[in-house]
Amino acid sequence: MIPVLGYEGRRVAVLGMGRSGLATALSLRAGGAIPVVWDDSTEGRAKAEELGYEVCDFTKAGGFDGIAALIVSPGIPHLYPDPNKVIAAAWAAGVPVDNDIGLFFRSLGSGDWVDFDTPPRVIAVTGSNGKSTTSALIHHILSENGTPCQLAGNIGRGVLDIEPPVDGEVIVLELSSYQTDLARALTPDVAVFTNLSPDHLDRHGGMGGYFAAKRRLFIEGGPDRCVIGVDEKEGRYLANQLVEGPEDSRLIRISVAEKLAGSGWNVFARKGFLSEYRKGKQVASLDLRDIAGLPGAHNHQNACAAFAATRALGLSPKTIEAAFHSFGGLPHRSQLVGEKDGVKFVNDSKATNVDSAQKALEAFSRIRWIAGGMGKDGGIAALAPALGSVVKAYLIGFSARDFALQLGDVPYEICETMEAAVALAAREAEAGEVVLLAPAAASFDQYPNFEKRGEHFAALVEALL
Q: What does the DSSP assignment read for 226-272? A: EEEE-SSHHHHHHHHHH-SSTT-TTEEEEESSS---SSSEEEEEETT
pLDDT for res 414: 98
CA angle 142, 300, 248 (to 5 degrees): 70
CA 348 to chain centre: 14
The reply, when asked if residue 340 is annotated as ligand binding, is no
What average pLDDT does range 392-396 have in this prediction?
A: 98
Residue 226: other Cβ atoms inside 10 A = 27
What average pLDDT does range 297-320 have in this prediction?
A: 96
Task: Give 211's pLDDT tier (boundaries 50, 70, 90).
Answer: very high
The reply, when asked if residue 128 is annotated as ligand binding, is yes
What average pLDDT does range 94-111 have in this prediction?
A: 91
Res. 7: pLDDT tops 70: yes
Res. 356: pLDDT tops 90: no
Domain with CATH 3.40.50.720 in the chain: 11-98
pLDDT for 441-454, tens place per residue?
999 999 999 999 99
Residue 427's contacts (CB-CB under 8 Å, 6 or more residues apart) are none
Residue 404: other Cβ atoms inside 10 A = 17
Res. 292: pLDDT tops 90: no
Give the C-alpha separation, 51 to 56, whole Å: 14
Q: Nearest CA to 164 among 115, 123, 112? A: 112
Give the C-alpha separation, 413 to 8, whole Å: 61
Task: Give the DSSP H/E element, type plus range, for residue 404.
Answer: helix 400-404
The reply, when asked if residue 133 is annotated as ligand binding, is yes
pLDDT for res 108: 87
Per the model's pLDDT, the better-predicted residue between 355 and 239 turns out to be: 239
Res. 370: pLDDT tops 90: yes
For residues 70 and 88, the answer to whether their CB atoms sit within 8 Å is no
Res. 239: pLDDT tops 80: yes
Domain with CATH 3.90.190.20 in the chain: 335-464
Task: Give 111's pLDDT tier (boundaries 50, 70, 90).
Answer: low
List beta partners, residue 36.
13, 54
Tell me the CA end-to-end span of the chain in Å, nearest whole number: 42
Give the C-alpha separation, 192 to 149, whole Å: 17
pLDDT for res 426: 97
Domain with CATH 3.40.1190.10 in the chain: 103-325
What average pLDDT does range 42-52 have in this prediction?
A: 93
pLDDT for res 222: 87
Q: Nearest CA to 323 among 313, 332, 333? A: 313
The DSSP output letter for 285 is E
- Domain covering 103-325 in this structure, CATH number: 3.40.1190.10
Give the C-alpha separation, 251 to 242, whole Å: 7
What average pLDDT does range 355-374 have in this prediction?
A: 93
The reply, when asked if residue 281 is annotated as ligand binding, is no
Give the percent of the chain with pLDDT over 90: 86
Q: Is the full-model pTM beyond 0.75? A: yes
Count of alpha carbons within 13 Å of 441, Cβ hemisphere only? 26
Per the model's pLDDT, the better-predicted residue between 198 and 453 turns out to be: 453
The reply, when asked if residue 132 is annotated as ligand binding, is yes
For residues 80 and 49, the answer to whether their CB atoms sit within 8 Å is no
Q: In this structure, what are the phi and psi dihedrals at residue 420, rounded to the nearest 5 degrees?
A: -70, -40
The reply, when asked if residue 127 is annotated as ligand binding, is yes
Task: Give 306's pLDDT tier (boundaries 50, 70, 90).
Answer: very high
Task: Give 72's pLDDT tier (boundaries 50, 70, 90).
Answer: very high
- Domain covering 11-98 in this structure, CATH number: 3.40.50.720
CATH superfamily of domain region 335-464: Mur ligase, C-terminal domain (3.90.190.20)
Q: Nearest CA to 72 among 103, 26, 116, 93? A: 103
